[in-house]
């Protein structure tokens, strides 16, 4: 890769390299959950469901909110007084309440950890399993699996091999290097090439190299990605002009139940190609003999 910068995971991604090491668990028991914020520092809230976020108009200009694939990304641009947000499940209407407040960053203050919200019912099920009253269930990982996979892939591509943290259960997965990726970022002038992939349980992470083919800087917006992905993480949030040391980065795409090839959208043939089809043959209304 052309840029050996510290890992900075972008929007619709999962967590920064340092913050991904731990996740704060909050249990939803019908009481509002406190989620403090720091100005100019994005915090991620994992809810593992498709939610709509209700934001009061009074903080709309000071708080950027994005929601994708069961994760909510909160970024305050200015201090925010204590404010309540509503997270509504898009499928069944269930509402979770979180209380935010944004304060300026303090010298030496560590980055905020991602937050994972779990429901009381899920927690009770785990407790019953521990007591032996119900069948045992797999333990809940402190760090979500997409974060584990993305961090593992980034370490393998960017960190010295001797520093790569071993992750039990992660195996190398098959990924065609010549996989057509024209439909991945169709609105951006980038060249995409599949690099490698890993698997953990029923999740795959595929690393794809992106190279800018334009003569200007590009902002990498995860909303421009086309495909069925659980999460997507850019190694860098921008690409430099073609031919510069900053013109290349990697995007990590996490899928569930299958690899990258099955998650891509089918490429749409250009309209001009349809115009070159041969004209239909007419037989003057007579049936073929």
pTM above threshold 0.85: no
Query: Are 107 and 168 members of one domain?
Result: no
Count Cβ atoms below 10 Å from residue 198 Cβ, excluding itself.
21
For the chain, list the strands marked E by DSSP: 24-28, 33-38, 43-46, 51-54, 63-68, 71-76, 80-89, 95-103, 115-119, 171-173, 190-200, 203-212, 218-219, 231-234, 238-239, 248-256
Q: Is the predicted pLDDT of residue 205 greater than 90, yes or no?
A: yes
Distance from C-alpha of 76 to C-alpha of 215, rounded to nearest angstrom: 32
**How many angstroms separate the Cα of 86 from the Cα of each of 13, 51, 56, 255?**
22, 9, 9, 28
Chain segment 149-162, per-residue pLDDT in tens? 999 999 888 887 77
What pLDDT score does 115 carry? 87
pLDDT of residue 251 exceeding 60, the answer is: yes
Q: What does the alpha-carbon distance between residue 148 and residue 25 come to, in Å, rounded to a whole number?
A: 16
Give pLDDT, residue 69: 67
Measured over the CA atoms of residue 118, residue 124, residue 128 and residue 134, the dihedral's sign is negative
Q: What pLDDT sits at residue 124?
A: 46
Residue 279 lies in a domain: no
How far apart, in whole angstroms, are the C-alpha atoms of residue 17 and residue 164?
Answer: 13
When pLDDT is averaged across residues 121-141 and rounded to a whole number, the result is: 47
Q: What is the mean pLDDT of residues 16-24?
A: 51
- Residue 187 has a pLDDT of 92
Residue 14 clears pLDDT 60, i.e. is over it = no
Most confident of 93-102, 108-117, 154-163, 194-203: 194-203
Residues 181 and 236 in one domain: yes
Residue scoring higher pLDDT (138 or 158): 158
Which residue in 235, 158, 233, 154 sits closest to 198, CA to CA?
A: 154
What average pLDDT does this structure show over 8-23?
Answer: 43
For 13, 154, 222, 246, 247, the CA distances from 237, given in Å and listed in that order, are 10, 14, 9, 11, 11
157 in Cβ contact with 149 (< 8 Å): no
Instruction: Please name the residue that has the structure tokens 């991602």.
Output: 114
CATH number at residue 97: 2.60.40.1080
pLDDT reading at 289 higher than 80: no
Q: Are residues 46 and 121 in the same domain?
A: yes
Instruction: Say which range, 59-68, 171-180, 215-224, has the weakest mean pLDDT.
Output: 59-68
Residue 273 lies in a domain: no
- Same-domain status, 126 and 170: no
Is 114 within the bounds of a domain?
A: yes
Total number of domains constituting the chain: 2
Is residue 124 located within the same domain as residue 154?
no
- Structural domain for 115, as ranges: 23-131
């Amino acid at each position: 890769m052309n840029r050996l910068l510290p890992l900075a995971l972008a929007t619709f991604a999962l967590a920064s390299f340092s913050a991904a090491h731990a996740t704060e668990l909050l249990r939803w028991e019908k009481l509002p959950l406190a989620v403090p914020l720091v100005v100019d520092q994005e915090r991620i809230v994992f809810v593992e469901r498709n939610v709509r976020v209700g934001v009061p108009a009074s903080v709309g200009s000071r708080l950027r909110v994005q929601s994708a694939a069961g994760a909510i990304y909160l970024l305050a641009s200015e201090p925010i007084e204590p404010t309540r947000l509503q997270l509504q499940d898009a499928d069944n209407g269930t509402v979770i309440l979180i209380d935010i407040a944004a304060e300026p960053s303090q010298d030496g203050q560590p980055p905020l950890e991602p937050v994972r919200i779990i429901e009381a019912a899920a927690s009770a099920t785990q407790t019953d399993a521990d007591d032996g009253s119900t069948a045992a269930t797999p333990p809940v990982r402190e760090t979500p699996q997409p974060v584990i996979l993305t961090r593992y892939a980034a370490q393998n591509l960017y960190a010295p091999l001797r520093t790569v943290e071993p992750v039990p259960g992660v195996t190398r997965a098959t990924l065609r290097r010549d996989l057509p990726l024209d439909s991945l970022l169709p609105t951006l002038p980038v060249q995409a090439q599949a690099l490698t992939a890993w698997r953990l349980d029923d999740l795959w992470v595929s690393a794809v190299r992106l190279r800018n083919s334009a003569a200007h800087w590009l902002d990498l917006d995860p909303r421009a990605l086309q495909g069925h992905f659980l999460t997507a993480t850019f190694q860098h949030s921008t690409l430099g002009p073609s031919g510069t040391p900053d013109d290349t980065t990697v995007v990590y795409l996490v899928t569930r139940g299958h690899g990258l090839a099955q998650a891509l959208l089918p490429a749409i043939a250009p309209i001009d190609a349809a115009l070159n089809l041969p004209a239909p043959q007419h037989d003057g209304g007579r049936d073929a003999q």
